[in-house]
Amino acid sequence: MKRIGVFTSGGDAPGMNAAIRAVVRQAYALGVEVIGIRRGYAGMILGEMLPLGVRDVANILQRGGTILLTARSQEFMTEEGRAKAAEKLRAAGIEGLVAIGGDGTFRGAMRLLEEHRIPVVGVPGTIDNDLYGTDYTIGFDTAVNTALEAIDRIRDTAASHERVFFIEVMGRHAGFIALDVGLAGGAEVIALPEEPVDPQAVAETLLASQARGKTSSIVVVAEGAYPGGAAGLLEAIRAHMALEARVTVLGHIQRGGAPTAKDRVLASRLGAAAVEALTGGASGVMVGEVEGEVEITPLKEAVERRKDIRRDLLALSRVLAL
């Protein structure tokens, strides 16, 4: 394999640039050229490609977002669109792909492999941490720390005004961010998509906290945990108790900013591992880190097998919130 392509797709995640850098420099060390594909699958269809050398990825390790940009492509969802993408890749002499992204990115990569026999290796880049086959995804640690800093600040205001704050974090289908942020931030309640949320039970928890002398509380809500998110949950709880509360939606600030050291190391390791796997003949797989070791998981398993939250951490959070 003499030339490979690298692209980012779906939601951006801090550490993607570190992964791109690792892909380019590991490939260079192996004598393999790298072509950067801009704007994900949309740019692939349009042929938006540029050579990437070792100097082209200098000074990007610490930057958030992705220098290759990202976009969603409805055209790629069609067979015709994927055929155009494959044609552009072959015209550019690209023999294999490193796909950096989440489950949507990997599903698209699987289609390219199945329909056009283009080898591909995935690198898990998503703040949601919801991919099976890796303990952590690139961007997750940064997102947690960004949200935690905000919650620490909000707790000061909650204590000063003796109020309850409902803080909504990202996580439409997975509660990994909410769980880690809630535990690290000392939340009294953590609402997750993986667990049924009973407004009456939440109300009882908050009332019990008040009875123990607490004058303020933090409720962390994953956006997909309850219809309407944090605001919807608050309204439902008000049917069971009088509550002076405020809602804060952290939103997209969780995706931005410089990646943490942990995310930079993870991205560097997995980016390099992806190149080694691809040039070594692997395809249709994702590289991940499990218990400190690089592991390879079929893309189909990575996107289809359920990765559960740490139930022990959820139980611990309830004990520590007393």
Q: Which residues contact residue 35 at a Cβ distance below 8 angstroms, ignoring those fewer than 6 apart?
A: 3, 4, 5, 6, 49, 50, 51, 52, 92, 93, 94
To the nearest whole number, what is the mean pLDDT of the chain?
A: 96
CATH class of domain segment(s) 141-256: alpha beta
pLDDT of the residue at 227: 97
Q: What share of the chain is helix, strand, coil (3-state, %, to 5)?
A: 45, 20, 35
Residue 221: predicted pLDDT: 98
pLDDT digits 0-9 by tens, 60-81:
999 999 999 999 899 999 999 9
- Check whether 21 is labelled as a binding-site residue: yes
- Strand ranges, E, within 114-179: 120-124, 164-169
Identical fold at 3-139+259-304 and 141-256?
A: yes
Token duo for residue 102: 């989440």
Residue 172 known to bind ligand: yes
211-238 pLDDT, tens digit each? 999 989 999 999 999 999 999 999 999 9
- d(C-alpha 32, C-alpha 189), whole Å: 51
Residue 127 assigned to a binding site: yes
Q: State how far the Cα of 18 lies from the Cα of 267, in Å rounded to an integer.
A: 6
Task: For the chain, give every domain's residue range.
Answer: 3-139+259-304, 141-256
Any idea which residues carry the catalytic annotation? 128
205 is in an annotated binding site: no
DSSP tag of 22: H
Q: 306 a known binding residue?
A: no
195 annotated ligand-binding residue? no
Q: What is the pLDDT of residues 112-166, one digit of tens each?
A: 999 999 999 999 999 999 999 999 999 999 999 999 999 999 999 999 998 999 9
Q: If pLDDT is split at 50, 70 and 90, which confidence band does 243 have?
A: confident
Residue 37 confidence class, pLDDT cut points 50, 70, 90:
very high
The CATH T-level fold of domain 3-139+259-304 is Rossmann fold (3.40.50)
| Residue 130 is labelled as binding a ligand | no
Give 175-199 pLDDT, tens digit per residue.
Answer: 999 999 999 999 999 999 999 999 9
pLDDT of residue 309: 96
**Which run of H or E residues covers position 194?**
none
Instruction: Return the closest-CA partner of residue 237 out of 194, 193, 201.
Output: 201
What does the pLDDT read at residue 322?
82
Task: Give 185's DSSP letter.
Answer: T
Q: Which of 14, 26, 7, 11 is nearest to 262 (CA)?
A: 14
